[in-house]
Amino acid sequence: MIRRALFVALVFCAGMASGQTRWPDYISSLEPDTSESPVMAALPADAVVRVPDAALPASRKRWSGAWSGWACAARVCDVKVAVEQVSDQGATIVYAAASSAMASYSERLEARFNADGELQGTLTNGRQLVFRLRDGNVMEFLSRRSATEFAAGVLAKADASSPQRVVERIPTPFVEGGKPVSLEVVIYKPAGIGPFPLLMVNHGSTGNGDNPALFTSTFTSPTLTRYFVGKGWMVAYPQRRGRGKSDGLYDEGFNRERSAYSCNPALSLAGFDHALADVDAAADYLLAKPEVDTRHSVIAGVSRGGVLSVAYAGMHPERFAGVINFVGGWMGDGCLQVDAINAPAFERGARFRKPELWLYGENDPFYKMAHSRKNYDAFTAAGGRADFVAIDPGIGQGGHGIHARPELWRDAVNQYLGAIARP
What is the average per-residue pLDDT within 142-155? 79
Helix (H) or strand (E) segment spanning residue 339: none
Residues 72-76, mean pLDDT to the nearest whole number: 80
Q: Mean pLDDT throughout 393-412?
A: 92
pLDDT category of residue 330 using cuts at 50, 70 and 90: very high
Please state the separation of Cα 216 from the chain's center in Å. Answer: 14
SS3 per-residue string spanning 225-293: HHHHHHCCCEEEEECCCCCCCCCCCCCCCECCCCCCECCCHHHHHHHHHHHHHHHHHHHHHHHCCCCEE
pLDDT in tens, 389-402: 999 999 888 999 99
pLDDT(17) > 50: no
pLDDT at residue 301 tops 80:
yes
**Same-domain check for residues 354 and 331:** yes
- Nearest Cα neighbor of 38 from 98, 113, 86, 91 is 98
Q: Range with the lowest mean pLDDT among 21-35, 77-91, 118-132?
A: 21-35
Task: Pick the closest to residue 397 from 373, 372, 364, 360 (CA basis).
Answer: 364
CB-neighbour burial class of residue 310 (10 A; exposed 0-12, middle 13-18, buried 19+): buried
Higher pLDDT: 115 or 101? It is 115
Is residue 160 over pLDDT 70?
Answer: no
Listed range (2-6, 46-50, 186-190, 364-368) with the worst mean pLDDT: 2-6
131 and 172: one domain?
no
Q: Is the pLDDT of residue 5 over 70?
A: no
Judgement on whether residues 221 and 262 belong to the same structural domain of the protein: yes
Read off the CATH number of the domain in which 55 is found. Answer: 2.40.128.640
Who contacts 192 (Cβ-Cβ below 8 Å, separation ≥6)?
Answer: none
Residue bearing the bigger pLDDT, 416 or 422: 416
Give backbone dihedrals phi and psi of 341, rounded to 5 degrees, phi first. Answer: -115, -60
Rounded mean pLDDT of 205-230?
A: 92
32 pLDDT more than 60:
yes
Asked if pLDDT for residue 43 goes beyond 70, the answer is yes
pLDDT of 150 reads 72
Share of the chain above pLDDT 90, in %: 77
- pLDDT category of residue 423 using cuts at 50, 70 and 90: low
Domain end among 157, 184, 202: 157
The model's confidence at residue 260, banded by pLDDT at 50, 70 and 90, is very high
The pLDDT of 298-306, averaged and rounded, is 98
**195: preceding bond cis by omega (within 30 degrees):** yes
DSSP string, 345-410: HHHTTGGG-S-EEEEEETT-SSS-HHHHHHHHHHHHHTT--EEEEEE---TT--STTGGG-HHHHH
Contacts of 277 (CB under 8 A, 6+ apart): 174
**Domain check: are 152 and 180 in the same one?**
no
Q: Which domain holds residue 190?
A: 165-421
Residue at which a domain ends, from 157, 177, 207: 157
Do residues 178 and 199 share a domain? Answer: yes
Q: Is the Cα dihedral 253, 29, 182, 305 positive or negative?
A: negative
CATH number where 386 lies: 3.40.50.1820
Mean pLDDT confidence for 109-115: 96
Q: Are residues 190 and 144 in the same domain?
A: no
**Angstrom distance (rounded) from CA 132 to CA 77:** 19
Same domain as 189, residue 150: no
Longest dimension (CA), the chain: 67
Q: Is the pLDDT of residue 379 over 90?
A: yes
- Residue 411 shares a structural domain with residue 382: yes
User: In 3-state terms, what secondary structure has residue 76?
Assistant: coil
Query: Which one of 157, 183, 213 terminates a domain?
Result: 157
- Adjacent-strand bridge partners of 106: 96
**pLDDT value at residue 13:** 35
% of the chain at pLDDT higher than 70: 93
30 vs 140: CA distance, rounded Å: 9
State the pLDDT at residue 136: 74
Residue 4 reports pLDDT greater than 70 = no
pLDDT at residue 143, rounded to an integer: 87
Distance CA 33, CA 398 (A): 20
Phi, psi of 209 (to 5 degrees): 80, 15
Q: Could you read off the pLDDT of 172-216 as tens digits, one per residue?
A: 999 999 999 999 999 999 999 999 999 999 999 998 999 998 899
- pLDDT reading at 14 higher than 60: no
Going by their DSSP bridges, the two strands 102-113 and 119-122 should be labelled as: antiparallel
Number of domains in the chain: 2
| Inter-CA distances, 364 with 46, 221, 282, 361, Å | 45, 19, 29, 6
